[in-house]
Structure 1
Amino acid sequence: MVHQSQEEAEQAIIASQLSTSFTAPEIIARGNIPNWLGQVQESRITDMIRKLSDFTNRFYTTSHGVNASNYIHDEWQAIASTRSDMTVEKYNHRDWPQDSVILTFKGHTKPEEIVVIGGHLDSTVGRSTGENTRAPGADDNASGIATFTEVIRVLASNQTLSQTVRCSLWATQQKK
């Protein structure tokens, strides 16, 4: 989500917390966070939201979904190309054309410990979504993908991680 002010964002968080029992995990790397936040560029997030929303839809059965998956793969590959400890791959689903995209940031001290962060890359208006159905999905899930991508970019700029982090965007089939 994009908010017009920090106050508006905080109010949205508070409102969402009132309706859930979610407990946020403790942040261990607190000392790094101000440095990381200082590198985040809002314009990169909003630009990617716009680019992803420009696809007619990102539905898993459409050519637009395939093109969106390829676009994300290429964006992540450009980020990962600067590092030997990052890889990007596509996961091909045999039953539909859209690939999932997976970026792996290999940990340096505990590479066998894997943290998976994921979300869906498709957009839909339901089961009736077809090749020409307009489903830009700015808030579902282009905003998540864009934020994810910016976090990856910041971490790739000069960070090493203890554990391996695997970022996955899944092409998802709708249940019938």
Structure 2
Amino acid sequence: MSPSAKSVGSMEIREGKEKVVAAAAAAMEDVDDLEAPSTPESILLSSVSVSTSSTGSDRTSRALITPSLKFLWESYRTSLETLKNNSRLEMIYQSVAQKAFTFCLVNGRKTEFRRLCETLRVHLANVGKYYAQNSMKGEREQGGHHQINLGDPETLQRHLDTRFAQLNVSVELELWQEAFRSIEESWV
């Protein structure tokens, strides 16, 4: 993902959050009497929507922020899928993975973080499996294939740095099972 695409997605999210705050402030100005009883419509609407934002209207928040969050998440996921098997793109892959961790942490996206961790686990398992298969056949780096070599110290260091970042985000999000898996898999 290019820096400009990242900044556009982040900028849209910030703008959406600012609009939610402004809409909540405008809604609060429309309230004449704070002690007035709630209308049946407002009670029904409050029971239907689940609070996702401490700043104001849930529906406004969903309408303004959710599309940007979805776009950004799909961008990270697609980038990781595209970069997963090429040693020449490995540094970019690790960078995107760490930015995706930051995205999950900043936006409190626990479900997406779990999915991200599972995706990274599958990618790592596939790297190990295909490297072992091709090294037995003697096909390493034939025909333009640039497979990731986990035996390379620099590659292993980048992998461990990413796992350490994953562990830190797991702890910040209080996802203890993911933290345990991150530690366990780093040493296997």
Shared fold (TM-score, shorter chain, > 0.5): no
User: Larger Cα Rg: Structure 1 or Structure 2?
Assistant: 2
Identify, as 1 or 2, the structure richer in helix: 2
Between Structure 1 and Structure 2, which shows a larger proportion of strand residues?
1
Question: What TM-score range do you get, normalising by the shorter chain?
Answer: under 0.3
**Which has the bigger relative contact order, CA under 8 A and spacing at least 6?**
1
